[in-house]
Amino acid sequence: METLAFVSSYELTSTVEELDELRNVKDRPILERTAAKLLVIKGQAAAEAVDIETRYRMRRAEGVLDTVESTSETSFSPSVILRISLCCWFCVVRCLCYGVGSAGLAVLFEKLAKENFPVSENPDGTTFSGGQLYKNFAVTYAPAIFVSFLEAMVIYYDLLRTALTVAQIAGLKLWPADPIRTYVSNSIIAEALELGHPTYVRFGVNPLRGSSELILKLCFLLYKARGGLSKFLIKVRTPAPRARLLGRADTRSLLRSSCGAW
């Protein structure tokens, strides 16, 4: 019974903490906060009185798939795997199409700008005046950047939608939300949006144990450098004196690729 009490209390504390973190319950009014906590422990409070194995079977009978005491899935039917694969491949093809559309639009804008707002170069053939540069930027690159942002948003929205579809096909119940389901959906969303995995100490396990500090710092610097490089690629083109740094074609292609890739 001591073990049962320990496990229940640990689980309860863990779930309430998770709820606090995930839903930011602390910022809510006291009544809402209490209600949310009650909702979490509602299902567990009744089960605490009974034997742990009975509780386990009860949860199985309810058909809960994604909680700690879930049913035992050891394999998936080929049709489920096929549906998931098809769903993923369709999404990949859609993302490819978004790329074609976005890059095509960028090229189109550039062509239109060239035809309608021709830029006259200086006699030395290396650069052009600041006013022309800004006009060129506004007409050519601003729509391209806008299209690129739009493309990124559409891609991540599509990935998110596909991720939730995959979860649904796999049989995960994400709604109505409880702390563990919220945890599941959050981890799927984090994967879909490339938010990375936590490296903090949990359950007494430090994922970065034994890692060299030098390598960790280098990784941090590389991560920061990625953002800095994209900023540099955009900034290097805008002020007129810096336009001398790179050739026009080089800068154009770099800017286009930076908008598309980053």
Partner 1 sequence: MVTRSAVKGVFPLIGIPIVAFWNAMLAYQILKAVRTVALCRCCINGVTDALLGVHQELSRQLEAGVELKKAVALSRIKSFALASRHDSFDPTAMTAEMKTAILRTVAVAVVQSKRFHPNLELLMKHLMFRLHLDPSSIEGLDDETVFLEKCLPSLSRLDSYTVLSFMAFALTLDGELSISQKVRARASSHASTPC
Task: Give me the least distance between CB of 213 and partner 1, in Å please.
Answer: 13
Residue among 186, 197, 198, 196 at smallest CA distance from 160: 186
Tell me how far apart the terminal alpha carbons of the chain are, to the nearest angstrom: 56
Instruction: Give the range of 89-97, 133-141, 222-230, 237-245 binding partner 1 by CB under 8 A.
Output: 89-97
Instruction: Give the range of 32-40, 124-132, 183-191, 237-245 binding partner 1 by CB under 8 A.
Output: 183-191
User: Three-class SS of residue 208?
Assistant: coil
Instruction: Give the range of 26-34, 38-46, 206-214, 226-234 binding partner 1 by CB under 8 A.
Output: 206-214
What is the C-alpha to C-alpha distance for residues 63 and 164, in angstroms, rounded to an integer?
A: 19
Q: How many Cβ atoms are within 10 Å of 14's Cβ, its own excluded?
A: 14
- DSSP state, 241? G
Residue of 23, 25, 47, 56 interacting with partner 1 (CB under 8 A): 56
Q: How many Cβ atoms are within 10 Å of 189's Cβ, its own excluded?
A: 15
Task: Give me the least distance between CB of 155 and partner 1, in Å please.
Answer: 6
Contacts of 132 (CB under 8 A, 6+ apart): 119, 120
- Told to check if 13 binds partner 1 by CB under 8 A, we report no
Residue of 25, 84, 139, 150 interacting with partner 1 (CB under 8 A): 84
Residues near partner 1 (CB under 8 A), total: 80
Q: With contact defined as beta carbons under 8 Å apart, do 171 and 81 qualify? A: no
- Told to check if 95 binds partner 1 by CB under 8 A, we report yes
- Told to check if 146 binds partner 1 by CB under 8 A, we report no
- DSSP state, 119? P
Closer CB to partner 1, 126 or 187, in the complex: 187
- Told to check if 7 binds partner 1 by CB under 8 A, we report yes
Q: Which helix (H) or strand (E) holds 116?
A: helix 78-116
- Told to check if 125 binds partner 1 by CB under 8 A, we report no
- Told to check if 210 binds partner 1 by CB under 8 A, we report yes
Q: With contact defined as beta carbons under 8 Å apart, do 128 and 122 qualify? A: yes
Closer CB to partner 1, 39 or 190, in the complex: 190
Q: With contact defined as beta carbons under 8 Å apart, do 91 and 118 qualify? A: no
Task: Give me the least distance between CB of 25 and partner 1, in Å please.
Answer: 21
Q: Contact letters (x/-) for partner 1, 214-253, by CB under 8 A? A: -----------------------------------x---x
